[in-house]
Each structure stands twice: as structure tokens, then as C-alpha cells.
Chain A
Amino acid sequence: DAMVIQNPRYQVTQFGKPVTLSCSQTLNHNVMYWYQQKSSQAPKLLFHYYDKDFNNEADTPDNFQSRRPNTSFCFLDIRSPGLGDAAMYLCATSRDLREETQYFGPGTRLLVL
């Protein structure tokens, strides 16, 4: 089945230690998104790629970076995780930008010690 896959499902890191979260998709969608979701809140968009074009949200901290080496994979890099970065990180894809359904992966729960 076509799907969005996130690895790992749970990630524990230390304060200040760089961490990378992975997302892959078999849907061949043009757009890939990264969201941060904290407890009892709606997902918050961090950035998205339309093909190779990177689009950062204005309020996304510089600590968060992303890479999309090819259509199928997208990575979220947190350069120096702080305690406040502990959250669920969701990857989503859509065929195009406008009026298109976004398909979400299962998420990666990040814990910062």
C-alpha cells in the first residue's frame, strides 16, 4: 500500500545533541511537509518542500533544518535540541500545494533529556 513512513517512531536525545528524523513516501507526491505537534495542540507547520523548493515558515526556529535528497525521502534535522523541542513530529505529503489532501505518517515522538 502507498504510504508515508517515519523512522524512528520514538527518539530519545540529549539536550544539545543533534538529531535527525526521517520520512519516506511511496505516493510519489510532489510536496512533503514537517509539522511539530505538542501535547493537546494542533500540528504546527515547520516547513515544506515542493519538489526541491524549500519553504520555511516565518516562525520556525533556525535550530530546525530539513533536507530532501530525492522525491521519496525528507529529513528533519534539529541541530541543538532543547527541552522545549520535545514533541511529536509529523511528516505529511500531498500531490500538489493547493486544495489537495495531505497524507500523514505515524509520527516520531521526540524526547529530550
Chain B
Amino acid sequence: AQSVTQLGSHVSVSEGALVLLRCNYSSSVPPYLFWYVQYPNQGLQLLLKYTSAATLVKGINGFEAEFKKSETSFHLTKPSAHMSDAAEYFCAVSSSNTGKLIFGQGTTLQVKP
């Protein structure tokens, strides 16, 4: 069965600092992986998607993620945090059997001035 684990339920960074949100997956087949962002009282917005075309995936708002098969990881990074990046971030894998999204537990990103 496929699964996703996000390490760290809360991450706090200073404005301008590197953002690193960790995601590890478990899958016996090549996975389709997603990062979504959710602002308070909003729906989920797609940040980026890995589909095996390239291991480094660039997304919106300056975010990118690198697929590392050897580490079964798909960590999300941004070189310089903005106050507007404060939100909840979800990593997800698309089930190879059903296509359903399997979400991680979410990571709350706090950005301090």
C-alpha cells in the first residue's frame, strides 16, 4: 500500500530563510507525487506535481521539490521565505490502484518577521 509521511507538523522559519518541508513516500510502483498548499479557510492549491518526467520539479510561488528514489523522498524547498508563505502544506501520492490521493498529515509553516 502506498503512503506518505510528512516529518514535522510545524516548521518555523524567519523571513528570507530557506524553507524545507519534508515528505517521504512508500510505493512499490513509480509514484505520482503532489504538494498542495492550503491557506486559512481556503481550499487546497496545487504547488507542484511529480510525474517522472524530471526529478527536480518547479512549482508556483518559487517552490520546488526534488524526487529522490534512493531516499524515497520528495522534499519541498524555497530559497527565501516570504510572510505570505505561511500556510498548511500537504504532500500526497496518487494511489496506483484507485487514483485516490493519499495525503500526509500536513505541515504548518510559520514565517517570522
Contact = CB atoms under 8 A, between A and B. Distances in A.
Interface residues of B, number: 23
A48 B94 CA distance: 15
Nearest to B101: A102
Contact of B99 (A43, A88, A100, A104): A100
B98 interface: yes
Interface in B6-57: 32, 34, 36, 41-46, 49, 51
Given A43-B103, A97-B98, A97-B99, A107 B41 contact: yes
B49 A43 contact: no
A42 B105 contact: yes
Contacts of A94: 99
Interface of A: 4, 6, 40-43, 45, 48, 88, 90, 92, 94, 96-107, 109
Given A40-B106, A106-B42, A107-B42, 20 more contacts: A4-B43, A41-B105, A42-B103, A42-B104, A43-B44, A43-B103, A45-B100, A90-B43, A97-B98, A97-B99, A98-B98, A98-B99, A99-B94, A99-B99, A100-B94, A104-B36, A104-B43, A104-B44, A106-B43, A107-B43
